[in-house]
């Protein structure tokens, strides 16, 4: 039976993915349908828009998306070749047609695995929020946000980005774009990426503490911390990872959770992700 959380300090903000459903669970976001069904690619140039996916490669599009068996998990991943054309107005791979209902002023955690198989660049993640529950069908954009800190490597890596939804938000869509390595809009050459296991989780009220954490039986102190971090838990913690706000893994711990050396971490905010017997738990850590 789950027990009450031992609260040692008031966290500046705490959120948990334990017990949370992946909002993309039925949206073919792991591409295990063997296709990019429900997803779309859009290339905009020369005053025209080209819509395509792995089963419908529109004539005239410079970019393409196909299925690959080089997956992070399961049998398939989406292999997207992003054309490097500075005259292009836009190029995006997204889940657009069915916006997902969302809450206002709530953290949304966007996760995906990806890698580059040709070329180099940044895989930008986008979240667009609307004040209607059906996106542009009955609303307007109230927030359009991007994370462009994910520099692609030659092997699968997970990237995690948390974005609070704005006031009035009722639905959200997510998507990807590729940028130049220096952050400018277009890569220096065509880039081919593999994207897999895309997930979106609903966190907590962005202005407060997630009451659902109270059942996890985990306490973190001190917080803020400077050199040592102590974790007390009434459930078994199997592993612990610390990420910076860009989703970069900074530290992994598999033993001695009650005395963790964090002297090497720079001042700032981090996320502590813990794998436990009851599921995954993520909390914020402030290093001073």
Q: Please say if the pLDDT value at position 224 is more than 90.
A: no
Asked, as a colleague might, if the bond just before 74 is cis with ω within 30 of 0, I would say no
With bands split at pLDDT 50, 70 and 90, how would you rate the model's confidence at 166? very high
Sheet holding 249-253, edge to edge: 249-253, 237-244, 268-276, 279-287
Q: 208 pLDDT exceeds 50?
A: no
Peptide linkage before 115 cis (omega within 30 of 0): no
Per the model's pLDDT, the better-predicted residue between 269 and 231 turns out to be 231
In the predicted model, is pLDDT for residue 218 greater than 90? no
Could you give the 3-state DSSP secondary structure of residue 118?
strand
The whole-number pLDDT of residue 30 equals 93
Joined together, the tokens standing for residue 175 give 């998507």
As a whole number, the mean pLDDT across the chain is 83
Q: How far apart are CA 124 and CA 145, in angstroms?
A: 10
Q: What is the pLDDT of residue 99?
A: 87
* pLDDT score at 26: 85
pLDDT by residue (tens digit) across 66-123? 999 999 988 999 999 999 988 899 999 998 777 888 889 888 999 999 999 999 999 9
pLDDT tier at 283 (50, 70, 90 boundaries)? confident
Nearest by Cα to 82 from 163, 155, 191: 191
pLDDT of the residue at 119: 95
Across 32-41, 73-82, 272-281, least confident range: 272-281
**In the block, which residue shows the tokens 């400018």?**
184
d(CA 1, CA 108): 28
Query: According to the model, what pLDDT value does residue 212 have?
Result: 40
d(CA 273, CA 215) in angstroms, rounded, equals 16
Q: What does residue 14 show for φ and ψ, rounded to 5 degrees?
A: -125, 135
Confirm whether pTM is higher than 0.95. Answer: no
**Cα–Cα distance for residue pair 161/164, rounded to 1 Å:** 10
Q: Which of 168, 175, 163 is nearest to 132 (CA)?
A: 168
pLDDT band at 233 (very low <50, low <70, confident <90, very high): confident
Tokens of 103: 């809450």
Banded pLDDT at 277 (limits 50, 70, 90): confident
Tell me: pLDDT of 190 over 50: yes
Using an 8 Å Cβ cutoff, are 20 and 199 in contact? no
DSSP class of 60: T
Which domains occur in the chain, in start order? 40-205 (2.60.120.260), 211-287 (2.60.40.3080)
């Amino acid at each position: 039976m789950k027990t009450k959380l031992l609260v040692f300090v008031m966290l500046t903000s705490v959120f948990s993915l334990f017990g949370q459903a992946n909002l993309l669970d039925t949206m073919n976001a792991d591409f295990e349908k063997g296709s990019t069904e429900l997803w779309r690619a859009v290339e905009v140039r020369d005053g025209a828009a080209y819509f395509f996916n792995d089963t419908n490669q529109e004539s005239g599009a410079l970019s393409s998306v196909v299925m690959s068996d080089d997956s992070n998990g399961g049998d398939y991943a989406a292999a997207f070749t992003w054309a490097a054309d500075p005259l292009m107005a836009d190029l995006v791979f997204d889940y657009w047609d069915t916006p997902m209902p969302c809450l206002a002023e709530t953290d949304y955690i966007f996760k995906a695995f990806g890698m580059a198989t040709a070329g180099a660049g940044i895989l930008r993640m986008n979240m667009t929020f609307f004040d209607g529950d059906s996106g542009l069908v009955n609303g307007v954009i109230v927030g359009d946000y991007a994370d462009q800190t994910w520099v692609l490597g030659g092997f699968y890596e997970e990237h995690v980005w948390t974005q609070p939804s704005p006031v009035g938000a009722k639905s959200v869509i997510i998507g990807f774009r590729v940028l130049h390595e220096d952050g400018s809009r277009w890569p220096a050459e065509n880039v081919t990426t593999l994207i897999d296991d895309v997930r979106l989780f609903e966190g907590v009220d962005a202005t407060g503490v997630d009451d659902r954490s109270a059942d996890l039986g985990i306490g973190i102190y001190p917080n803020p911390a400077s050199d040592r971090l102590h974790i007390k838990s009434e459930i078994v913690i199997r592993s612990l990872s610390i990420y910076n706000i860009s989703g970069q893994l900074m530290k992994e711990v598999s033993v001695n959770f009650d005395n963790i050396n964090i002297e090497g971490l720079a001042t700032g905010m981090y996320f502590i992700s813990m794998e436990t017997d009851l599921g995954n738990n993520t909390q914020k850590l402030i290093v001073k």
